[in-house]
Amino acid sequence: MKKMILIAGPCVIENEELVFKIAQELECFLKDDRIDFYFKSSFDKANRTSISSFRGPGLEKGLEILQKVKDKFGMQILTDIHESSQASIAAEVVDVLQIPAFLCRQTDLLVAAAKTKAKVNVKKGQFLNPDDIKYSIAKILQTRGIGKEGYEIAKENGVFVAERGSSFGYGNLVVDMRSLVIMRKYAPVIFDATHSVQMPGANGGSSGGKSEFVEPLARAAASVGVDGFFFETHIDPCNALCDGPNMLDLSRLKNCVNTLLKIQEVI
């Protein structure tokens, strides 16, 4: 059976102590031979709703902390970048560069990521037709000198894409499960279960969310067929400095992942 990709960690690096506590709780997934595990956290959240929102420790300090996680736990690391200049620097530490949803068509950012040795995870924009993700993938593959396209080509060259819901009116997202099938024609697909329950701008100067729907949506995606899952998780989501309303409490994550593995065995 192929391994399930699992990307998990806190939305943003709040402090080194918390990051290490969460990484320690996630270590069980690293040791599970059914899972290809990546620890995720952001050194900067450049697209927060309000200018007063917490963004993170910044590039230099953030990468220093992520390197410590890598050294201590032996985990593969994923983080997002927002500017082309960050790609080569971040790729010295992390294994996967993530392209944020709002920037999924940003050519210079995609090209900069493609020029590194890192894998690239492109989050499909809330505004994007799922079929159009092929153009973002092509920018990466062509930059890497690959003239072909398709699921296997993207997989072999370290490119995957993430579904995180589509805008449905104002302040709401929905997941069209057809998009998982459509995007999987072009690359391995990660289902971002926690951002899919986000409610943009619902808390005034920050986003809200309905975390009680994380697990049902993840199970639905598993039954459709995806290559992996993305969960932002926290010891205390209610007091998290970013995306608390849609993050999954660590205490719920293990049971959720075990259920998804069982569904994938059937599929």
- pLDDT value of position 52: 74
The pTM (predicted TM-score) of the whole model is: 0.95
* Domains present along the chain, CATH in parentheses: 4-266 (3.20.20.70)
Helix (H) or strand (E) holding 77: strand 76-80
Closest CA to 235 of 43, 74, 19, 35: 19
148 confidence band (pLDDT: 50, 70, 90): very high
Tell me how far CA of residue 181 lies from CA of 30, 111, 225, 227, in angstroms.
28, 26, 8, 11
Q: Read off the pLDDT band of 1 (50, 70, 90).
A: low
Residue linked to tokens 């890497």: 144
Looking at residues 252-261, what average pLDDT do you find? 97
Q: What is the pLDDT of residues 125-134, one digit of tens each?
A: 999 999 999 9
The Cα angle at residue 102 between residues 107 and 57, in degrees rounded to 5: 100
pLDDT tens string 68-81: 999 999 999 999 99
Most confident of 94-103, 164-173, 207-216: 94-103
CA 209-52-86 angle, to 5 degrees, is 85
On the question of pLDDT at 202 being above 60, the answer is no
